[in-house]
Structure 1
Amino acid sequence: MEKKFVLTVMLVIVLYTVLPWILTRMFGIGVFRRGSGAREIAFTFDDGPDPVYTPQLLELLGKYGVKGTFFVLGSKAEAHPELILRIHQEGHLIGVHNYNHRSNWLMLPWSVSRRQVERSAGIIESITGVRPVYYRPPWGIINLCDYLLRKRYTIVLWSVMVQDWRSNVGKERMKSVLLKQIREGSIVLLHDSGDTFGADKDAPGHMLQALEEVFGELSPQSYRYVRIDELTVSPSVVRFTKRMLVKVWMCWERSFVKVMQVKPVDAANTLLQLRITEYRGKQAILLTDGEQIQQGDRIAELHLDNNLLYRLGATSSSSVHLAIQLVRRTELLMPQIIRLLQTDPAYKDVKGLYGISIIHRGTKKLGFTVLDLPKGAFSFATRLYLRFLLYMVHPQGKERLKLKSELLVPKIIAISRKELMSRYIAQP
């Protein structure tokens, strides 16, 4: 039991930290890190505003007619509102870089969203009258739950980094790297403050010297220096990102099915998959037929074949069409589930079917009881996962997440063995 607990904790940590790092830093999934417009460059500046270096940077940007993007810390914006106002009035874009310069891996989801991002956005809005919609987490590190922030913020990383927070890199090295790596659509990461963890206090001075020389050498090439909100994003880039996300996700799905021993009810119609396990919920589930599923009862846990679900979603003309296909396939599988209950020794003491799903409309007609999930961390994590799944497989996933968010609540769906037997007759 102790080993299983340790493995569960390790899996949670990997999902919360390592998986988002792979998706964002290796594949660029869910984040914006490069534009596609001809001759466009976006210079971005983190960790400010700084009372010494930010005014010097603004003078330099004004001299060369460059519009930049500043990802500021809420605590510093609070301490230096005059600099925030100046950045805004001079036509630069302001984004959020958390309230404190702290890694999102070391914070709980609500701490990042409410205490770091929303608090900082509120401070900036109170100064400029404009609420930020762009967000860059410290060190470019996000946790799994930060994907929920994408409803309100675009998460921005970078394509060019010169380690300008270190003094020993020096002006010449910074300049050389910038000139070699800058391309059309580049998002350049720089820092106008050196007082965060791991940075040198005098490093921004070297950055300013290097940047002035870079501006002098790039200008004849007619690059356009634009804010993040002015960078062109190609629709093909968006499609490529989703394709990569699908590949990574399906790889994860295959691993999950194998490790958890999830098996399809029918090899020819794999929509419904089952896993024999014990019900671990603290609260008993009271079903409409009077039966109860209590902690420790053996159940057949319901899972959907997400690979098939994705294919159905991609070929469905609408959400209604997709829902009809799911209901029809489920109805066809019910007699086979009964056959398993009657003939398979592994199912002899299974009390019923149990699952959690956003796609629960119409399940009552099939005999299922539909119940709310108890509030808490599990409910929050489940909602995040299922919303992500809906985005992946639904024909209008992204739009549906925006327009129907109040309806996207995961529910418990369960049906007793007795109800199954009374409703469906197994075919010989």
Structure 2
Amino acid sequence: MTNLLQSILLWLLYISSFYAFIPSLVSRLFGFRVFRRGRSETEFSLTFDDGPDPKYTPRLLDLLRQYEAKATFFVVGEHAARHPELIQRIHEEGHLLGIHNYIHKTNWLMRPRTVRDQIQRTGQIIQEVTGVRTCYYRPPWGIMNLFDFFSKKDRRIILWSSMFEDWRSSVGVEKLTERMLKELRGGEVMLLHDRGTTLGADAHAPEQMLQALEVVLQEANRQQLHSVRIDTLMGGVTVSESKTTSQPQTHLSPWKRMVVALWLGWEKLFHWVYHLHTASPEDPLLHYRSRVYHGALVEMDDGHVIRNGDPVIELHFDNKKLFDLGMTSRSSMHLAIRMIRAMEQQLPDLARQVALQPELRSAKALYGVSMINRGPEKFGFTVRELAPGPFSSASKVYLKLLLSVIHPAGTKRLKQRSEQLVPKMIAMPLDVLLDRYGQHALVAATAEHSSEHLLVSEQDLVPERN
């Protein structure tokens, strides 16, 4: 029995070595089927793993833009799905996107099919956001398995020629800077991290990386070295990115045209009957009206509550704007990004409207119902389920019908993820709106009130003429 157990353990060791250890060793030592270093004397590549991160990635992009540097971002799929606006910005600013699995888990602990699914899922997210299919892949920790060697020829595995333990805060800015400057030369592929939430990393380590990187970029400029994307450093040996065939909708069927016409006609009638106001008249997306809330108590994330009878500001999306966004978006991710950017512009305008109108400042909260409810928490909204009942059921039917028209995937989206398409309540305390978006508006409102008061006082001093 002991000999049998020893034999089993020995065979497991052989198999695991053949599957995991040997492929990683061969790729590291001999560069088999991987890219680790370029041949340029004046160009090097900065590569960033584990992101995107809502705190550090925007600052990193600002720094790269300041020094006119290009980089490659190997993103984790689950983070990319949460922050598609950062993926879009990375792409729009001319950087290269690569895949770093959907979750940050070593390929040694996953079956080949699971690894393939992780790569495909992350690649699909990148493609939906940018319209471009990426072929660049870096396995977490650079650990490969046997089947990575037999991956499709249109996928390039990218490792690195230098890393600096920038994921550890204990390294310190000074030592990290020294290590990076020591490896600053043409052809180098530098491994860095713009997120510190993975296993073994320190959450605040990217702060040190940013400080060290600025010194390195300054020195690179002095030496006339240029940070370029991996595909540029690879030169002619790379497999270039290919654009997706996904295109925005350009044609509507007769029934959809009828639905759109009825929909937009209903909106005009609704606006006229309920006297809706617009947050940004020059670019209408958010409409609102002041009303009294009727319904069950709503508890928001920060402890504020909306009770039956409380004054609220009811929000409505502009149907024409939603339709235009949906018709010109390549995918659901692209639509989500454009909605996020539009909301970023609209909420400060809404805060200004509230700050300038005393009757609105008495409201308890913003309130609305929407099926487009992915990601509103980042703006300060609380998302809650609607109470079961006729209103919830009617809202679901109505919003599903409209979503089938405005969504880039049309009715396919409804069939694929119908369980996720549920109308929900979104709410934000008025204090949160004014604190996050209305500081300038409050100053303007105070100044306007003061000037009006001064004008009245001056008029009081002027004697009436007979």
Secondary structure in 2 aligned to 1:50?
A: coil
Q: Do residues 213 (structure 1) and 215 (structure 2) align?
A: yes
3-state SS of paired residue (1:149): coil
Distance (Å, rounded) in 2 between the aligned partners of 1:46 and 1:179: 20
Q: Which has the larger radius of gyration?
A: 2
State how 1:95-174 maps to structure 2 within 5 Å.
95-114=98-117, 116-174=118-176
CA contact (8 A) 2:39 2:187 kept: yes
TM-fit CA distance, 1:175: 0.8
Q: Compute the displacement of 1:234 (Å).
A: 8.6
- Corresponding position of 2:205: 203
List aligned pairs for 1:406-417, cutoff 5 A: none
TM-score (normalised: structure 2): 0.49
Is the 8 Å Cα contact of residues 184 and 220 (structure 2) preserved in structure 1? no
- 2:91 equivalent among 81, 88, 93: 88
CA distance in 2, matches of 1:181, 1:166: 18
1:8: Cα distance to partner? Answer: 2.6
1:416 maps to what in 2? none
CA RMSD after TM alignment: 1.4
* Superposition pairs of residues 168-183 of structure 1, within 5 angstroms: 168-183=170-185
How far apart in 2 are the matches of 1:7 and 1:234?
Answer: 44
Letter paired with 1:133: C
Equivalent in 4, 22, 27 of residue 24 of structure 1: 27
Q: Does the Cα contact within 8 Å between 1:37 and 1:233 map onto a contact in 2?
A: no
- Distance (Å, rounded) in 2 between the aligned partners of 1:229 and 1:169: 30
Q: 1:64 aligns with which of 67, 81, 95?
A: 67
2:49 corresponds to: 46
Residue 68 of structure 1 deviates from its aligned partner by 0.4
Unpaired stretches in structure 1, ≥5 consecutive residues: 236-428
**Aligned partner of residue 46 in structure 2, secondary structure:** strand
Match of 1:190, SS?
strand
Alignment of 1:305-316 (within 5 A): none
Q: When the two structures are aligned, how many residues end up with a matched partner?
A: 234
- Paired with 1:222 and 1:68, the residues of 2 have a C-alpha distance of 17
Provide the C-alpha distance between the structure 2 equivalents of 1:71 and 1:15, rounded to a whole number of angstroms: 27
Decide whether the 8 Å contact of 2:185 with 2:225 is kept in 1: no
* 1:32 partner letter: F
SS of corresponding position for 1:148: coil
CA deviation after TM superposition for structure 1 residue 30, in Å: 1.5
Give the secondary structure class of the aligned counterpart of 1:94.
strand
Percent sequence identity over matched residues?
51
Q: What corresponds to 2:18 in structure 1? A: 15
Could you tell me which amino acid in structure 1 is paired with residue 227 of structure 2? Answer: Y
For residues 6 and 166 of structure 1, the distance between their equivalents in structure 2, rounded to whole angstroms, comes to 35
Distance 1:4 1:162 in 2: 41
Find the counterpart in structure 1 of residue 350 from structure 2: none
> Conserved in 2, the CA contact under 8 Å of 1:159 and 1:186?
yes
Residues 108-129 of structure 1, C-alpha deviations (whole Å, 9 max, x = no match): 1110011x11110011101101
Alpha-carbon distance in structure 1 between the residues aligned to 2:107 and 2:148: 8
Counterpart of 1:254? none
Flag the 1:34–1:234 CA change in 2: closer, same or farther, 3 A.
farther
CA distance in 1, matches of 2:224, 2:183: 17
Q: 2:232 aligns to what?
A: 230
Q: Which amino acid aligns with 1:196?
A: T
Paired with 2:231 and 2:220, the residues of 1 have a C-alpha distance of: 21
- TM-score, normalised with respect to structure 1: 0.53
**1:35–1:234 contact (8 Å) kept in structure 2:** no
Q: Aligned letter for 1:192?
A: D
**Secondary structure at the counterpart of residue 182 of structure 2:** helix
CA contact (8 A) 1:135 1:153 kept: yes
Equivalent position SS for 1:91: coil
Structure 1 residue 150: deviation in Å? Answer: 4.5
